[in-house]
Amino acid sequence: MRSIQTEDITKTIAELCIKANHYLTPDMASVLENARSSERSPVGCHVLNQLSENLKIAGEDMIPICQDTGMAVVFMEIGQDVHIEGGDLTEAVNEGVRRGYVDGYLRKSVVSDPLLRENTGDNTPAVLYTEIVRGDKLRITVAPKGFGSENMSRVFMLKPADGVEGVKNAILTAVSDAGPNACPPMVVGVGIGGTFEKAALLAKKALLRDVSKGSELSHIADLEKEMLEKINGLGIGPGGLGGTTTALAVNINTYPTHIAGLPVAVNICCHVNRHAVGEL
What average pLDDT score do residues 248-269 get?
98
**Quick one: pLDDT at residue 272?**
92
What average pLDDT score do residues 264-272 get?
96
**pLDDT band, very low/low/confident/very high, at 59 (cuts 50, 70, 90):** confident
Helix ranges, the chain (H)? 6-22, 26-38, 42-61, 89-103, 147-150, 163-178, 196-206, 218-232
What average pLDDT score do residues 99-104 get?
97
Q: Which amino acid, residue 235?
A: G
In what side-by-side order are the strands of the sheet with 127-133?
Answer: 127-133, 71-79, 138-145, 276-279
Residue percentage of the chain with pLDDT more than 70: 100
Angle (CA) 152 235 53, round 5°: 75
**pLDDT tens column, 116-157:** 999 999 999 999 999 999 999 999 999 999 999 999 999 999
DSSP state of 125: P
**Quick one: pLDDT at residue 278?**
97
**Quick one: pLDDT at residue 177?**
96
What average pLDDT score do residues 163-177 get?
98
- Asked whether the beta carbons of 223 and 188 are under 8 A apart, the reply is no
Q: With a cut of 90, say whether residue 189 has pLDDT above it.
A: yes
Give the whole-angstrom CA distance, residue 61 versus residue 108: 20
**pLDDT tens column, 206-254:** 999 999 999 999 999 999 999 999 999 999 999 999 999 999 999 999 9
**pLDDT band, very low/low/confident/very high, at 186 (cuts 50, 70, 90):** very high
Q: Is 256 helix (H, G, I), strand (E, B) or coil?
A: strand
Q: Is 220 helix (H, G, I), strand (E, B) or coil?
A: helix
DSSP state of 24: -
Instruction: Say which residues have a Cβ less than 8 Å from residue 15's Cβ, sequence separation at least 6.
Output: 100, 278
The sign one gets for the Cα dihedral 238, 243, 246, 249 is negative
**Quick one: pLDDT at residue 279?**
97
Residue 249 CA neighbour count, 13 Å, CB half: 28
What average pLDDT score do residues 160-164 get?
98
Among 163, 187, 5, smallest CA distance to 82 is for 5
**Quick one: pLDDT at residue 23?**
93
Let me know if 195 is exposed, middle or buried by CB neighbors in 10 A (0-12, 13-18, 19+): middle
**Quick one: pLDDT at residue 1?**
87
What average pLDDT score do residues 247-274 get?
97
